A and B are shown apart, each in its own frame.
Chain A
């Protein structure tokens, strides 16, 4: 019997939805006597999280979504034995409901340009052998054998790569600074402290392709002259910790970390550093404190971390995505990378799509994609036929973009001009039933919790802004509040020390800029146009539509609904707590909000 497999079944995004899917699939493959020709690979995230578990069957490229263990026998019989596509399991296009059998034909994927995510879902993340087989350690070999550190820096500068942690500083220039500074001992660090509440790209990357991060760090260490690296991950992110730990161990066993790497005479090793998760912990100086074992609080940057970082030694910190991109640039060349993206922002950006969008997940697209393309082509549009209202980008302290800006190409500069930021690429999509005031309040509440409290402006400023926003959502705001919010926001941005305070007012300032009407409606008309803010809304039952089925009456936790069977029901507004249960359960669309 041949040792070569004719088909690989790559299983991704299993989550907790179908924990027994992989064992069931393996057992069925064995039962049908296919175990020597078909291999089941537990691959990392494919980014299509809302559809998990998903499988990709290579070489055909057949793609199945939303699988359960019960689907296994049919799937094995029809597709793996007989080579037929099971339509029932394919992806259905949300608007046309057409079945799409092949991964390459799904709009979510064929609009993407995967550089950071190039190996995600394509290799077994626990096997350095598979990483080596695809193209792993080719870039490191090239660097160690044929490039000087100056040439590496020149290549990075030419590529236009900017740090993917959020600030977007030129990676080539950062490495150059770290190389030029004098110091016997230098460090390279990978930032895996992903803090944005709706983002999961760094974790997905560490869990799906940890080796590329290590390879990038090794190239960085060779370039700046470091021999020790640290990967910092919050210990709560157990999947990332396990994956990176395993990757470091395997790389050490193969001698791809350690002394005299590939016989080049260059020594480099990496240690994992774990800490408690916090939002501010991803800030460069705070992270370095955490690596030293101190409380993760930022310090003033009178001097750069490239001069004095961890233990006051020159340190070069990059986001895990930045490290991961470096081998791709070395392999394929700076010109290739620079040909993707816009004038100032080269390459691609991984967006984490969340909120009111059909394709919740991770999508990597060229820089400069428009809001329209991201939401409607890649994201598959807004669910339930609702209307798109706004896109919030840049994590919790990013800004909102309204429908007027649908055609705006998104890169570092245009987003900053529009009052938002690229950040790490967290995107929340709002539909017409989302209240921007309430959403801004939510983000500010998060930032208030995460502020370390060192700067008065950030600690007190955010708190005061949150109080005002809360008052507005409760219908007790005044028009002067809007000016106060703007003034406070400007002060917090201007005088806070680190990136948290400098950007925290963005959600409020950008909504005031684009959605002032909605604030005014809350304050003057005492109305929440989206029907979200509980103090300003009232649920009612449409007599025409109500069939008197009694479902809402039984579900109401307050017993606020009354009515005879088969007669229209009514809601007692005094008793109602605006939980929205009746609205959710009604099958006849008879419950409304006003």
Chain B
């Protein structure tokens, strides 16, 4: 699997049209470690697609460094371990799903003897087996997104770049993509997810980077590896503020108390102590940053 993930340093990119020069990326620093899912969010025109294009070698940066696993991003060894899902799947629409996927698998370097088995498995996993012999022109937008995921993951890449992978998908498709992203993370892949779906980003990403006008304006860790932040909502009128503060170590804000613990077991122990202290509990959930507030505040 990947050794050093994706690294971007002082990346700048500008576009020229006639005499105007527009600097779209203004010194981006970004890291995506192996086994980490990083979300890229930001308003339209923030530079997310340009950043993704530079990372994948579609665009040439003005300055700065991009390394993937310590090598240049156009290194063939790196490409062999890279998967990419574009926002819109554009390909020869006359090809059948099966032929398209076989072609992509062979190009990605899947060994000849494994191509058919892997194609079948991916189509089955993404629920496209019944549509395998249909032409891509007959696929819906959601089906194209699914086959896009198939071609990106068929060679079990170590570096996965996803551009709006859930756009056009039904709720089942969204859940499927969420599971696939989690699987990539568990495999140890470094995943960069560009999405406008803040709820999705919140659910799957370990870290989120907010890009605005070509600069990273905010970076937030959603899931810490060494601690868990829990929000416990208390039943109004059922608790004594001092008791809650004694048990949890922090003061409740209105009816919510946000506690940092180290393990899952500590959450159970905390709940037990609160219940033993006659504190009514309405809800217990992992606490993550409010991406909507970040988005609104920074945009």
Are both chains from one complex?
no
B residues contacting A by CB (< 8 A) are none
A residues contacting B by CB (< 8 A) are none
